[in-house]
Chains A and B, each alone.
Chain A
Amino acid sequence: MSDEPTTPQEVWALIERADELVKYAQNRDPATAYAQARSTLERAAEAARTVAGAEKLEEQAARRLADIAKLESA
């Protein structure tokens, strides 16, 4: 059985999980947290392209991936 998201809510839950990884990154190894967040967002973006009604969430995932890239280069 796949645990990939099948509803927009599940796609958003992945994005929210990535947000929490970023928000709490400074409490642990930030590089690891950012990598986990990036991986989670890539899953969310992939799912947003295929899940009906989740199209706009691809943009949300892309925005956050750009945020992480900025954080990693800061």
Chain B
Amino acid sequence: MRAEREDHDGRLPPNQRLTRGWPILHASPIPKFKEEIWSFCVWGEVETEVEWTWPEFRSLPKFRNTSDFHCVTGWSKFDVAWEGVSFKEIASRVTPKPSATHVIVHAEYGYTANLPLAAIDDTDVLFAWAHDGFDLEPEHGGPLRLVVPKLYAWKSAKWVRGLHFLNHDERGYWEERGYHNRADPFREERYSWQE
């Protein structure tokens, strides 16, 4: 049926169009990766706070997952094959306290994105350093980006440097600028006035 073709049998969220390319967009210049000073910190409502260097992070168990990618500007890309470290692996090493309800992911230039713990603690969420068999290019968030496939891609922050576990919610960069706090593409949660 025509409708089924247009939404790819329910796989394409409403008012999205499929792209075969991968448009590049971000709110800041591309940061230069300096391995000697790069670190990834996890802190806040966790039993064990950590700070990993790049080699330490890369030595964590690898996780691969293929998922779709939906940008709030209206394009979607199917079947992106990611490789990195799963959120569940990170969580197993820091042990979130029972009081942890949300996280804020911190990225270069002060960019942040907030997520309920229930949204990030999912089997398809990872911190990715490669896609489709290649190192993640800087313009796509390399050396490391978060991937949260079930939400609009601004939640999948590029150039991530840390993860803060919180006992409450705090809006991130775009969420403070009029975009939706949850960002489910299938509910078309684009803007804050829909909340």
Asked whether A15 and B178 contact (CB < 8 A) given A26-B139, A27-B24, the answer is: yes
CA of A15 to CA of B22 in the docked complex: distance in angstroms? 24
- A23 contacts the other chain (CB 8 A): yes
Q: Name the one of A15, A22, A26, A63 contacting B30, with C-beta atoms under 8 angstroms.
A: A26
Contact A60 B177 (CB under 8 A): yes
Q: Which of chain A's residues 14-49 have a Cβ closer than 8 Å to chain B?
A: 15, 19-20, 22-24, 26-27, 30
Contact B29 A24 (CB under 8 A): no
How far apart are A3's CB and chain B's nearest CB, in angstroms?
Answer: 22
Contact A26 B178 (CB under 8 A): no
Task: Count A interface residues, CB 8 Å.
Answer: 17
Q: Which of chain B's residues 63-92 have a Cβ closer than 8 Å to chain A?
A: 73
Q: Name the one of A15, A24, A57, A60 contacting B25, with C-beta atoms under 8 angstroms.
A: A24
Interface of A is mostly: helix
How far apart are A7's CB and chain B's nearest CB, in angstroms?
Answer: 13
Contact A64 B30 (CB under 8 A): no
Q: Which of chain B's residues 87-104 have a Cβ closer than 8 Å to chain A?
A: none
CA of A30 to CA of B27 in the docked complex: distance in angstroms? 11
Please name all residues of chain B whose beta carbon is closer than 8 Å to the beta carbon of A20 when the two chains form the complex. Answer: 25, 73
How far apart are B79's CB and chain A's nearest CB, in angstroms?
Answer: 23
- A71 contacts the other chain (CB 8 A): yes
CA of A23 to CA of B23 in the docked complex: distance in angstroms? 10
Please name all residues of chain B whose beta carbon is closer than 8 Å to the beta carbon of A74 when the two chains form the complex. Answer: 28-29, 109
Please name all residues of chain B whose beta carbon is closer than 8 Å to the beta carbon of A30 when the two chains form the complex. Answer: 29
- B8 contacts the other chain (CB 8 A): no
- B62 contacts the other chain (CB 8 A): no
